[in-house]
Amino acid sequence: MKKALLVMTLAAFAAGCADNSIPKAQLPDLDTSNPLLAEWDTPHATPPFSKIELKHYEPAFDAAIACSRAEIEAIVNNPAKPTFGNTIVALERSGELLSRIEGVFYNLLSADASEEMQQISLRIQPKLTELSNDISLDPKLFERVKYVYEHPGFCLNKADEKLLEDTYKSFARSGAALSDEDKELYRQYTSELSALTLKFGQNSLAATNAYALNITDPAKVAELPGFVKEGMAAEAKARGEKGWTVTLQAPSYVPFLTYSSDRALKEQLWRASNSRGVGGEFDNLENVKAIANTRLKIANLLGYKCYADYVLERRMAKDTPTVTSFLQELLDETKAFADQDCKTVGDYAASLGFEGELMPWDWAYYSQKYRDAKYSLNDEVVKPYFKLDSVKKGVFLLANKLYGLNFTPNTSVDVYHPDVTVYDVTDDKGRFMAVLYLDFFPRASKRAGAWMTEFRGAKIVDGEETRPLVSLVMNFTKPTEEKPSLLTFDEVETFLHEFGHSLHGMLGEGVYESQTGTSVYRDFVELPSQIMENWATEKEFLDLWAVHYETGEPIPAEIVERIVAAKNFLAAYGNVRQLSFGMTDMAWHTITEPFEGDVLAFERESMAPTQVLPVVDGTAMAPSFGHIFSGGYAAGYYGYKWAEVLEADAFSLFKQKGIFSREVADSFRGNILSKGGTEDPMELYVRFRGHKPETKALIEKMGLGKENE
């Protein structure tokens, strides 16, 4: 009997591993005169940007979509019994050409767009949505996936098992199990949502670019620090204007609010920024409602009470109650401190002769003055030590100390804009790890903010490894004719943050591209980025590279001490402000009935528990809140605070064993950075840290409850 059982077991094992070959598809002929469709005979197979013209995109997309359809058809019509290889891996490998084209087009649509590109995106997006729906709603394809899910065999490793689970659930969560009638509704809703989010993003960018405040009276800029005036003058010159110009781009907008005492101009600027998308030519109010309602319809169709329930099922937090209680716990622990922060700044403003109620456009100015008075620290003191080239050197040095990475300029790699620089990244054994693109400065063709993205991820196919092409895109203060680019402390933190994302991408290891690098749950993806910010206030790190750009003098110890002391200044206020974003996000995505009310009133109510400054009529963040209405953070903005809890706890291990500890860094790399989405993130975190994270780590890091020194 035992021998018979062994034979049966071996037969079952063989059956589970048999016929894993990927079916060959009859692909359409490609026009290789189109550089997007040709082989890229370039360094590391990087995109040949200088050869790509706008006219190439649509034909390339059409051809790639046809290829993807042929690949799917080959899987569906494969006469062999479904297996992990001929179905799940085949699906993973399909669409490679389309992914390559999307990687170029959509990254440039954010970093170097034009009106024509935006129009192309409007024409392409419905085709991509249709393809996605055709794949996810194909009953024969789902039947094969379901069969493998229910009969996985015995030859799968952990990454294989995760890919199988992710693939099956992706189909189920994309309507594959719906009736034919409901599948058509799903197609309709997702197509509508795709168009709505695209339009929202375009309106937001247009509204940002549509406003500029030009000042010609020298008296109104006389008080401003030199770097602010120089930046404004450069902006005016670039626009063909006289005097000084402020835009709604953060490097222009924030310094003016911080250093100008002209309340009238600041109110005008603040209202313009905080009413983007509220009425007018680029109105997003109806888009906000339509997006929220369409997401609700999709969730209901798939059997969920609200969109947040649908989203959080595939997040580290797992469910809506966990997120709402997490946000509430942090609010309960910090709101009183945030109120005290506001009272402190308000009292200080009054001591300087300010009369009346402190308004949002007053906040940056008086909080900065208080910060200067208490810590004798402002951007003018700090910026000379944070020359962009020096900061970059420091960031690269940190990556070398922690992970043995080296960065070598590669001028032979084509770039999409003259501002972009490129580096080959290798490890301490000489292994090629990635190509890194750096794009630092604002321009009208680039959306606001800072982000990491990839033109290509890591994977292994038939034993041949492909390494990632990683891009960091930021909007730092531009150099002027008189000065190099000097970063604020916030910009230094931003650099470190986005570089953390890039490390996640560059150090990713794995067979399947959908599991490598930053392809992890949304509320886990910010851990590698936010932990990097901790080094910005470590004297041992700053002493290695932070020197005065004119004198070469190392940053004085007392300035570093003041930076550290000022780090938690208004920490509670900043925390509650972030919680307000997370709570309004959850409010929009926990609606259970279609919303037809007033967007501004809804936001006021959802943010009321977190309100610390006066509400201003006619303003709202939702109409320009791209993270949740046109990005990937719907029902997920809490993830920033979630990750702060993770990173505070994680960095405490570096503090314990040394901020450059290779032992801790190797563990973080091995358990977090290199693993990507191959395992459950909580299991990975506990393996690194030894326990689950708790909010107390973040509260302690912010220094709340301690007496101010």
DSSP state of 486: B
Residues whose CB falls within 8 Å of the CB of residue 11, separated by 6 or more in sequence, listed in order: none
State yes or no: is 498 an active-site residue.
yes
DSSP state of 555: P
Residue with tokens 């750009």: 549
> Please, where in the chain does CATH 1.10.1370.40 lie?
2-177, 383-569+640-678
Enter the tokens of residue 626: 């791209």
The predicted structure's pLDDT at residue 153 = 83
Residues whose CB falls within 8 Å of the CB of residue 329, separated by 6 or more in sequence, listed in order: 695
Give the Cα separation of 576 and 567 in Å (integer): 16
- DSSP helix/strand/coil, 217: coil
3-state secondary structure 19-83: CCCCCCCCCCCCCCCCCCCCCCCCHHHCCCHHHCCHHHHHHHHHHHHHHHHHHHHHHHCCCCCCC
> For residues 488 and 382, is the Cβ–Cβ distance under 8 A?
yes
- DSSP helix/strand/coil, 503: helix
Give the Cα separation of 537 and 489 in Å (integer): 9
Q: Which residues of the chain have pLDDT under 70?
A: 1-20, 705-709
> For residues 505 and 517, is the Cβ–Cβ distance under 8 A?
yes
Phi-psi category of 17—alpha, beta or left, where left has phi over 0 and alpha has psi -120 to 50?
alpha
Q: Which of 498, 513, 526, 603 is catalytic?
A: 498
Per-residue pLDDT tens for 132-148? Answer: 989 999 999 999 999 99
**Other C-beta atoms within 10 Å of 516: how many?**
28
Task: Give the DSSP H/E element, type plus range, for residue 434.
Answer: strand 432-439
Give the Cα separation of 542 and 531 in Å (integer): 16
The predicted structure's pLDDT at residue 485 = 95
The predicted structure's pLDDT at residue 448 = 82
Give me the CATH topology for the region 383-569+640-678: Neurolysin; domain 3 (1.10.1370)
The predicted structure's pLDDT at residue 470 = 98
The predicted structure's pLDDT at residue 19 = 54
Give the Cα separation of 695 and 643 in Å (integer): 10
Q: Is 406 exposed, middle or buried (0-12, 13-18, 19+ CB in 10 A)?
A: middle
The pairing of beta strand 451-456 with beta strand 432-439: unpaired
- Degrees (nearest 5) of the Cα angle 133, 139, 144? 110
DSSP 299-341: HHHTT-SSHHHHHHTTSTT-SHHHHHHHHHHHHHHHHHHHHHH
Give the Cα separation of 159 and 166 in Å (integer): 10
> For residues 249 and 208, is the Cβ–Cβ distance under 8 A?
yes
Is the pTM higher than 0.85? The answer reads no
Query: Which has the closest alpha carbon to 639: 582, 687, 705?
Result: 582
> In the CATH scheme, what is the code of domain 2-177?
1.10.1370.40
The predicted structure's pLDDT at residue 705 = 58
> For residues 215 and 232, is the Cβ–Cβ distance under 8 A?
yes
The predicted structure's pLDDT at residue 376 = 82
Query: Which has the closest alpha carbon to 543: 385, 427, 658?
Result: 385
